[in-house]
């Protein structure tokens, strides 16, 4: 029995000393950032976009370590919903039901472990979609999984 106790004691001691409190590796605790508030940022809040036209959606994204991916989501807001990450609020048209709403959702990778990047996505707005209130939502994810989002009210017009 004493031999078993000694073995258990030694095994416990080895486990305790094997655990390290080495703080040399730091954890990434910062979310990436998104900005459309610069000269080329697009669209700005409450901007009107025309059906059938092609636009380049632009945002600046940064991270303290490395960026991994981003997405662009364009969807109707005929029900007047909001997003908790929404920048500003525009005057909305009356509530309506959709007939042919537009939904654009695409994901993109950022290669090279860069800390700064400018999103530039060329999108043609279909000519046959419902006009009215829409949201433009950007999301950015860093290499450790932190994510940030921002949403902007826009209008699609004839």
For 6-49, the pLDDT digits (tens) are 665 555 555 555 555 555 578 999 999 999 999 999 999 999 99
Tell me which residue of 152, 158, 153, 94 sits closest to 129, measured CA to CA: 158
| Predicted pLDDT of residue 4 | 58
Instruction: Work out the pLDDT band at 97, boundaries 50, 70, 90.
Output: very high
Position 60 pLDDT exceeds 80: yes
The answer as to whether 40 is a domain residue is: yes
Q: 73 lies in a domain? A: yes
Whether 49 is covered by a domain: the verdict is yes
**Which are the contacts of 12, defined by CB distance < 8 A and separation ≥ 6?**
none
Residue 93 lies in a domain: yes
What Cα–Cα distance (Å) separates residue 96 from each residue in 45, 77, 82, 118? 21, 9, 16, 35
Q: Length of the chain in residues, anyone?
A: 158
Residue 85 lies in a domain: yes
pLDDT at 151: 95
Q: Which pLDDT tens digit goes with each residue over 112-147?
A: 999 999 999 999 999 999 999 999 999 999 999 999
| pTM for the whole structure | 0.82
- Structure token digits, residue 83: 């997003």
pLDDT score recorded for residue 12: 59
Tell whether 5 is covered by a domain: no
Give the chain's domain count. 1
Q: Are 57 and 120 in contact (CB under 8 A)?
A: yes
Query: Which range marks the domain in which residue 41 is found?
Result: 30-157
């Amino acid at each position: 029995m004493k031999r078993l106790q000694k073995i258990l004691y030694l095994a416990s001691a080895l486990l305790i000393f094997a655990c390290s409190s080495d703080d040399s590796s730091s954890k990434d605790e910062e979310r990436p950032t998104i900005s459309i508030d610069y000269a080329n940022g697009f669209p700005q809040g409450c901007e009107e976009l025309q059906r059938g036209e092609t636009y380049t959606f632009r945002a600046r994204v940064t991270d303290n370590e490395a960026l991994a991916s981003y997405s662009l989501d364009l969807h109707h807001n005929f029900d007047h919903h909001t997003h908790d990450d929404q920048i500003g609020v525009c005057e909305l048209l009356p509530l309506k039901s959709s007939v042919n709403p537009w939904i654009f959702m695409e994901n993109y990778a950022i290669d090279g472990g860069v800390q700064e990047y400018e999103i530039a996505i060329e999108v043609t707005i279909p000519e046959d979609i419902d006009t009215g209130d829409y949201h433009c939502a950007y999301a950015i994810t860093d290499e450790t999984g932190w994510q940030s989002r921002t949403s902007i009210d826009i209008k699609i017009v004839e």
